[in-house]
């Protein structure tokens, strides 16, 4: 095991490798020019006794590189898949751990992916409109995705925390979290880390496809709906245009724009990824209140698509074939 020394470093010098090297040499009783190889093991800020400085634990010696704690995920294989419900930290790391063992999993979440989820937060903050499925608590990344991502814990006895930190660094978190006593990822980076983790899992075969991302028809034109729709469809998931056929209250988008969303998806060759529904819920939507009832997609929206020139066979695919694929359950192999 290599020798460790602790040095005290001023705030201005903490990112200065030469200054750190000189302090390491001094701590070892050597001349400032006789600096051995060294690596920072741990770093904490010490504001006691009136002066603020870093306390840095340094490992001295060549070849002080640590092997990663855990293996990378493998390409998954096999007939039986684990269904992971919830794509928060627990769900993501659950499917990551399964992939390390080559075990396939399907990850489902009630909310939206981490980038479009921002649009729901913007609506929540600016208009007070709450999407019950996609908000600060629900959606890809889970509850703390838009916090600053503090990573310290006192539960060190439950497993190797470094493994989690290494996985986060591998997917875009700053390497400093491996040495900081009070590590955090940063609110600007955290959603990117979540997206990179999902992409890594997809690349080894973890399935995010039995997933409909809902409320995709409530994205305003200026927020680039087709950008979000095609990002979702490219990952194999379904784009849920699930507020079509009637007016929505605060999240109302005119029917012309919803028809355009369908046309844009068709132009992009993504017809296999569209599903419709009407988000029925208000009393005014019911037939008893002279609304269109459950037939609103067929009675209100489909005629508009036909009028806009969408072929009947395409509409059939969206209404019949796509939901059939989405809902299909593979028989278990015994």
Ligand X SMILES: Cc1cc2nc3c(=O)[nH]c(=O)nc-3n(C[C@H](O)[C@H](O)[C@H](O)COP(=O)(O)OP(=O)(O)OC[C@H]3O[C@@H](n4cnc5c(N)ncnc54)[C@H](O)[C@@H]3O)c2cc1C
The answer to whether 72 touches 13, Cβ cutoff 8 Å, is no
**Cβ closer to ligand X: 139 or 214?**
139
Q: Is 147 in the site for ligand X (CB under 6 A)?
A: yes
Q: Is 223 exposed, middle or buried (CB count within 10 Å of its CB: 0-12, 13-18, 19+)?
A: middle
| Closest to 267 (Cα-Cα) out of 298, 222, 233, 302 | 233
DSSP per position, 97-137:
HHHHTT--EEEE-SS--HHHHHHHHHHHHHH-PPPTTSSSS
The C-alpha atoms of residue 144 and residue 187 are separated, in whole angstroms, by 10
The C-alpha atoms of residue 109 and residue 73 are separated, in whole angstroms, by 21
Cβ of residue 79: shortest distance to ligand X, in angstroms?
A: 24
The answer to whether 21 touches 46, Cβ cutoff 8 Å, is no
Q: Is 144 in the site for ligand X (CB under 6 A)?
A: yes
Among 110, 192, 304, 325, binds ligand X (CB under 6 A): 110
**Cβ closer to ligand X: 22 or 112?**
112
Cβ of residue 1: shortest distance to ligand X, in angstroms?
A: 31
**Cβ closer to ligand X: 26 or 110?**
110
The answer to whether 226 touches 252, Cβ cutoff 8 Å, is no
**Cβ closer to ligand X: 121 or 319?**
121
Q: Pick the stretch among 82-90, 200-208, 276-284, 296-304 that binds ligand X (CB under 6 A).
A: 82-90
**Cβ closer to ligand X: 7 or 94?**
94
Among 53, 74, 82, 89, binds ligand X (CB under 6 A): 89
Helix, strand or coil for residue 40? strand
Among 22, 54, 87, 262, binds ligand X (CB under 6 A): 87
Q: Is 85 in the site for ligand X (CB under 6 A)?
A: yes
Among 21, 73, 111, 240, binds ligand X (CB under 6 A): 111
Residue 156 backbone class (left: φ over 0; alpha: ψ -120 to 50; beta: rest)? alpha
N- to C-terminal Cα separation, the chain: 50
> How many binding residues for ligand X (CB under 6 A)?
22
State the sign of the Cα–Cα–Cα–Cα dihedral 111, 113, 116, 122. positive
**Cβ closer to ligand X: 104 or 142?**
142
Q: Is 88 in the site for ligand X (CB under 6 A)?
A: yes
Question: What angle in degrees, to the nearest 10, is found between the helix axes of 89-100 and 161-170?
Answer: 90
Cβ of residue 94: shortest distance to ligand X, in angstroms?
A: 9
Helix, strand or coil for residue 202? helix
Question: What angle in degrees, to the nearest 10, is found between the helix axes of 225-234 and 255-267?
Answer: 40
Among 45, 143, 306, 308, binds ligand X (CB under 6 A): 143
- Give the phi and the psi of residue 294 in degrees, each rounded to 5: -75, -10
Among 73, 104, 149, 291, binds ligand X (CB under 6 A): 149
The interface mask with ligand X, positions 120-139, x = CB under 6 A, is: ----------------xxxx
Q: Pick the stretch among 24-32, 87-95, 118-126, 321-329 that binds ligand X (CB under 6 A).
A: 87-95
Cβ of residue 191: shortest distance to ligand X, in angstroms?
A: 13
Cβ of residue 88: shortest distance to ligand X, in angstroms?
A: 2
The residues of the shown chain that bind ligand X, judged by CB under 6 A, are 85-91, 108-111, 136-139, 142-144, 147-150
């Amino acid at each position: 095991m290599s020798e460790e020394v602790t040095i005290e470093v001023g705030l201005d010098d903490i990112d200065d490798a030469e200054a750190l090297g000189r302090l390491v040499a001094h701590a070892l009783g050597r001349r400032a020019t006789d600096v051995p190889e060294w690596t920072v093991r741990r770093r904490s800020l010490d504001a006691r006794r009136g002066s603020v400085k870093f306390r840095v634990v340094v490992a001295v010696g060549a070849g002080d590189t640590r092997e990663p704690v855990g293996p990378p995920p493998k390409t998954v294989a096999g007939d039986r898949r684990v269904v992971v419900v919830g794509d928060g930290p627990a769900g993501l790391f659950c499917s990551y751990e399964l992939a390390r063992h080559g075990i396939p999993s399907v990850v489902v979440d009630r909310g939206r992916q981490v980038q479009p989820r921002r649009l729901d937060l913007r609506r929540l903050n600016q208009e007070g409109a709450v999407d019950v499925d996609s908000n600060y608590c629900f959606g890809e990344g889970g509850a703390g995705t838009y916090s600053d991502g503090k990573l310290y814990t006192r539960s060190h006895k439950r497993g190797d925390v470094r493994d989690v930190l290494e996985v986060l660094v591998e997917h875009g978190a700053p390497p400093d979290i491996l040495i900081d006593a009070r590590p955090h990822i940063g609110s600007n980076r955290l959603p990117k880390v979540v997206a990179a983790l999902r992409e890594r899992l997809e690349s080894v075969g973890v399935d995010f496809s039995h997933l409909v991302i809902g409320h995709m028809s409530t994205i305003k034109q200026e927020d680039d709906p087709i950008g979000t729709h095609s990002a979702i469809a490219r990952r194999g998931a379904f784009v849920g245009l699930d507020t079509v056929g009637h007016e929505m209250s605060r999240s109302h988008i005119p029917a012309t724009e919803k028809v355009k969303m369908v046309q844009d998806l068709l132009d992009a060759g993504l017809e296999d990824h569209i599903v419709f529904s009407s988000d029925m819920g208000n009393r005014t939507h019911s037939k008893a209140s002279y609304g269109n009832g459950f037939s609103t997609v067929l009675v209100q929206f489909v005629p508009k698509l036909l009028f806009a020139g969408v072929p009947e066979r395409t509409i059939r695919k969206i209404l019949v074939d796509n939901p059939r694929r989405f809902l299909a359950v593979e028989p278990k192999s015994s």
